[in-house]
Structure 1
Amino acid sequence: MLLSLAIRDFVIVDTLELDFTAGFTVLTGETGAGKSIIIDALSLLLGGRGDGSLVRAGCERAELSARFDLARLPVLADWLAEQALADEGGELLVRRMLDASGRSRCFLNGRAATLAQLKTAGEWLVDIHGQHAHQSLVKPDTQRELLDAYAQSGELVASVAERHRIWQDARQARLDAEQHAAAYALERERLTWQINEVNELNPQPGEWDTLGQQHQRLANAAELQDEARHALNALSDDEGNLISAVAQLQGRLTRFAGVDTRLAPVAALLDSVDAELREALYALRDYVEDIEQNPEELAQVEKRIDALHACARKFRLRPEDLPQRLADWRQQLAELDNVADLDGLLANEAEALSALREAAEVLSARRRRAASELAERISAEMHTLAMAGSRFDIVLTPLATPSAHGAESVEYQVAANAGSPLRPLAKVASGGELSRISLALQVVTSAVAAVPTLIFDEVDVGIGGRVAEVVGKLLQRLGEQYQVLCITHLPQVAARGDVQWQVSKSGEGEAGAVISRIRPLSSKERVEEIARMLGGEQITATTRRHAREMLAG
Structure 2
Amino acid sequence: MITHLKIRDFALIESLDLDFQTGLSIFTGESGSGKSLVFDAVTSLLGGRCSTSNIRTGKEKYSLQAIVSLKDHPEAKTYLTEQGFQWEGEEIILTKELLKDGKARVKIGDSLASTTHLRELGKTIAEIHSQNEQLFLLEKSHQLEFLDRFGRLESLKAKVKLSLQNFRHWKEKLVSFEESVLHSKKRREILNYEIGEIESISPKEGEDESLAQEERFLANGEKLSENYRYILEELSDKENSILKVFPSLLHSIEKITQLVPEKMPIREEWEDVYDRLKALKSTLREDEEELFFSPDRLDMVQTRLQELTKLKKKYSSSVADILLQLQEKKAELEKWSLEEDDRDFLVQKHDQSLAELKELVFQLSRSRRNILNSFEEEVQKELQDLGMEGARLQVVLRWEENPNGEVEDGAKSYFLSESGLDQVEFYFSANLGEKPRPLRKVVSGGELSRVMLGLRSVLGKFCPSPPILILDEVDTGLGGEAANALATKLKRLSRNSQILLITHTQQIAASADSHFLLAKYAENGRTFSQAKILNFGERKLELARMIGGKQVTQGVLKAATDLLQKKAV
**TM-score, normalised relative to structure 1:** 0.71
Cα separation, 1, equivalents of 2:504 and 2:26: 10
User: For 1:300-342, what per-residue CA distance to the aligned partner results, in whole angstroms no more than 9, with x for missing partners?
Assistant: xxxxxxxx99988863387476498448724862587479x6x
Q: Which residue of 2 aligns with 1:271?
A: none
* Cα contact 2:445–2:476 (8 A) shared by 1: no
3-state DSSP of counterpart to 1:411? strand
**For 1:313 and 1:162, how far apart are their aligned partners in 2?**
54
What does residue 485 of structure 1 align with? 500
Match of 2:479 in 1: 464
CA displacement, residues 472-508 of structure 1 (integer Å, 9 cap, x when unaligned): 1111111122211111001111011111110111123
Q: Structure 2 matches for 1:360-509, cutoff 5 A?
A: 360-399=361-400, 400-404=413-417, 405-445=419-459, 448-508=463-523
CA drift of 1:8 comes to: 0.7
CA distance in 1, matches of 2:39, 2:53: 16
1:329 corresponds to which residue? 332
Q: Specify the code of the residue in structure 2 equivalent to 1:424.
A: P
In 1, Cα distance between equivalents of 2:150 and 2:38 = 27
Q: Is the 8 A contact 1:62 1:97 kept in 2?
A: yes
Q: Distance in 2 between matches of 1:323 and 1:14?
A: 80
Distance, in Å, in 2 between the alignment partners of 1:315 and 1:200 is 15
Paired residues of 2:446 and 2:475 also in contact (CA < 8 A):
no
How has the CA–CA distance of structure 1 residues 476 and 185 changed in structure 2, closer, same or farther, with 3 Å as cutoff?
same
Taking the aligned partners of 2:108 and 2:392, their CA distance within structure 1 comes to: 45
Maintained 8 Å contact 1:10/1:55: yes
Q: Is the 8 A contact 2:505 2:546 kept in 1?
A: yes
Larger deviation: 42-51 or 162-171?
162-171
SS in 2 for 1:395: strand
CA displacement at 1:113 relative to structure 2: 1.4
Q: Deviations over 1:427-472 (max 9, x none)?
A: 4444443332222123333553453111111110011111101111
- Correspondence 1:22 to 2:22: yes
Which runs of 5 or more structure 2 residues have no equivalent in the other structure?
Answer: 206-307, 401-412
CA shift at 1:388, angstroms? 1.2
Instruction: Give 3-state SS (helix, strand or coil) of 1:514's partner.
Output: strand
| Separation (CA, whole Å) in 2 of partners of 1:485 and 1:93 | 19
1:549 and 2:552 aligned: no
Q: Secondary structure at the match of 1:36?
A: helix
Aligned to 1:512: 525
Partner of 1:71: 71
Distance 1:51 1:336, change over 3 A: farther
User: In 2, distance between residues paired with 1:49 and 1:118?
Assistant: 11
Task: Indicate if the aligned counterparts of 1:198 and 1:311 stay in contact, CA closer than 8 A.
Answer: yes
Tell me, in whole angstroms, the C-alpha distance in 2 between the residues paired with 1:525 and 1:327.
Answer: 92
Per-residue displacement from partner, 1:516-548 (whole Å, max 9, x unpaired)?
111100111000000000011111111100000
Q: How many pairs are equivalent? A: 447
Separation in structure 2 between the aligned mates of residue 334 and residue 79 of structure 1, nearest angstrom: 48
In 1, Cα distance between the equivalents of 2:161 and 2:353? 12
Whole-angstrom distance in 2 between the partners of 1:507 and 1:142: 44
The alpha carbon displacement at 1:13 in A equals 1.0
Contact kept? 1:95, 1:108, Cα under 8 Å? yes
For the residues of structure 1 that align with 2:509 and 2:533, how far apart are their CA atoms? 13
How far the C-alpha of 1:550 sits from its partner, in A, is 0.4
Local SS of the residue matching 1:137: helix
| TM-aligned CA deviation for residue 386 of structure 1 | 1.8
Please list, as runs of the form range in 1=range in 2, the aligned pairs for 1:56-135 lying within 5 A after superposition: 56-135=56-135
Q: 1:57 to 1:382 in 2, by over 3 A?
A: same
Distance 1:7 1:74 in 2: 27
Measured in 2, the distance between the counterparts of 1:43 and 1:178 equals 50
For the 8 Å contact 2:453–2:489, the answer to whether it is kept is no
Q: How does 1:63-462 map to 2 (within 5 A)?
A: 63-154=63-154, 156-165=156-165, 167=167, 185-194=185-194, 315-316=315-316, 319=320, 322=325, 325-326=328-329, 329-330=332-333, 333=336, 337=340, 349-399=350-400, 400-404=413-417, 405-445=419-459, 448-462=463-477
What's the offset of the Cα at 1:411? Answer: 1.5
| CA contact 1:446–1:454 (8 Å) conserved in 2 | no
- Classify 1:137/1:69 alpha carbon distance in 2 versus 1 (closer, same or farther; 3 Å): closer
Q: Could you tell me how far 1:165 is from its partner in structure 2?
A: 5.0
Give the TM-score of the pair, scaled to structure 2.
0.70
Pair 398,513 (structure 1): closer, same or farther in 2 beyond 3 Å: same
CA contact (8 A) 2:65 2:93 kept: yes
